[in-house]
Amino acid sequence: MTRFYSRLWLCLPFALVITGCKSSPPPPTAAPAKPAVSYFKVDPATAGSVSGKITFSGRPPARKVIDMSEDPACVAAHKGKAMEESIIVGNKSGLENVFVYIKSGLEGKNFETPTATVVINQGGCQFHPHIIGVQVDQPVEITNSDPVTHNIHPMAEINREWNHSQGPGDPPMHRKFVKQEIMIPVKCNIHSWMHAYIGVLNHPYFTVSKEDGSFTIANLPPGTYTLATWQEKLGTQEQQVTVAPGGQAVINFTYKGRS
């Protein structure tokens, strides 16, 4: 028994040493800070613009009247004849609702996301506007000003596809598109005639042609660009354009119809 206690006393120092040397877990490491994004700023002293007109050559197709009779509330909400919007030829053969954008020439430049909200309204049982341009991650608000339930269904292929109903008096829906995609068709699953298109770009240089076919893209840095147009029935076109420092380049497009 005496020998046992002697051995125990001999082992205690070693146990104390081992216990005292036990290492504590290292403190958690902080996640590395994300590098700040450097946004490109256009020098107003050298910024230029590109403008022009998109025309339709040939006999303009007759616009069709949309039959909304399946929903009398839509007939009442529209307050007049509803015309389809796929091809609208206006004054002096100007082609309306053509999406115009810089396709190339801005590589390597990051642009800050605008905080302004783009509104898509469902009014008179049609989408307004018919052609919409937004920047990646820009806020989009969807409203319903009709006394009927609508459904907005962007059929995206690169972005996430989604599909939501919105009743009369429902609060606005808020969405974003996180990737560039040209163009995203939008439909209403309740009213088959309701269509729109959304162009999503990672820069702010895009527009939609007006009633007379005119367009302007302003505040462009000097450079050589590929300018592209998109029309839902007539397809796409491209031209190269050079914008000099402080210059105002002019370029026109023509879509041909049946003679």
pLDDT digits (tens, 9 = 90+) for 38-96: 899 999 999 999 999 999 999 999 999 999 999 999 999 998 889 999 999 998 999 99
Residue 52 located in a structural domain: yes
For residue 171, the one-letter residue type is P
pLDDT tens per residue across span 11-24: 444 444 444 445 56
Q: Who's near 233: CB < 8 A, 6+ residues apart?
A: 86, 87
pLDDT at residue 32, rounded to an integer: 67
Contact 251, 239 (CB under 8 A): yes
Same domain, 99 and 144: no
Residue 2 has pLDDT above 60, yes or no: no
Percent of the chain with pLDDT strictly greater than 70: 85
Note the pLDDT of residue 79: 83
Residues 6+ apart with CB under 8 A from 13: none
**Which structure tokens are listed for 87?**
């091809």
**254 found inside a domain:** yes
CATH number at residue 212: 2.60.40.1120
pLDDT confidence of residue 106: 97
* 3-class DSSP state of 6: helix
| Total-model pTM | 0.85
* Residues making up the chain, counted from first to last: 259
Is 258 within a domain? yes
Same domain, 141 and 215: no
Cα angle 129-162-208, degrees, rounded to a multiple of 5 = 25
Residues 52 and 93 in one domain: yes
Residues 91 and 217 in one domain: yes
Higher-pLDDT residue of 237, 19: 237
Any domain includes 94: yes
In this structure, the answer to whether residues 97 and 126 fall within a common structural domain is no
Amino acid at 67: D
Shared-domain flag, residues 148 and 93: no
Q: How many domains does the chain have?
A: 2
The encoded tokens of residue 118 equal 């783009």
Distance set, CA 252 to CA 50, 52, 220, 241 (Å): 10, 5, 18, 11
- Distances 96 to 16, 176, 236 between C-alpha atoms, Å: 87, 26, 14
For residue 6, tell me if it sits in a domain: no
Q: Could you tell me the residue range of the domain that residue 233 belongs to?
A: 47-104+207-259
